[in-house]
Amino acid sequence: MTLYTVTTKQLTLAAVLMSILTASLIGINNYVNQYLLLPEVHVSKTDDKCVKVVNYENGHAFTCNDVDVLLRRYRKVQIQAPTNE
């Protein structure tokens, strides 16, 4: 088994790179978690009107009346308009 010596510069560079990588992964994880907690606004494809709002965060009770009034950030999901047959 061959052992290699590591200089202080190499050790410092490795620590800095691992810190940057860790911080980036934590930031991406926080962004994705916040995105997944946004309410889904189901919009019909035909007339582009709100059909329903799906709330994922506990305590939120947004409705279609709140879209673009109280509810500024949301995920828009287009759905087929229900048929009345």
- At 46 the pLDDT is 86
DSSP bridge pairs for 79 = 44
pLDDT tens by residue, 31-73: 999 999 999 999 988 888 899 999 988 888 999 999 888 888 9
Burial of 6 (0-12, 13-18, 19+ CB in 10 A): exposed
- Write out 24-79 in H/E/C secondary structure: HHHHHHHHHHHHHCCCEEEEECCCCCEEEEECCCCCCCCCHHHECCCECCCEEEEE
- Asked if 67 and 58 touch (Cβ cutoff 8 Å), the reply is no
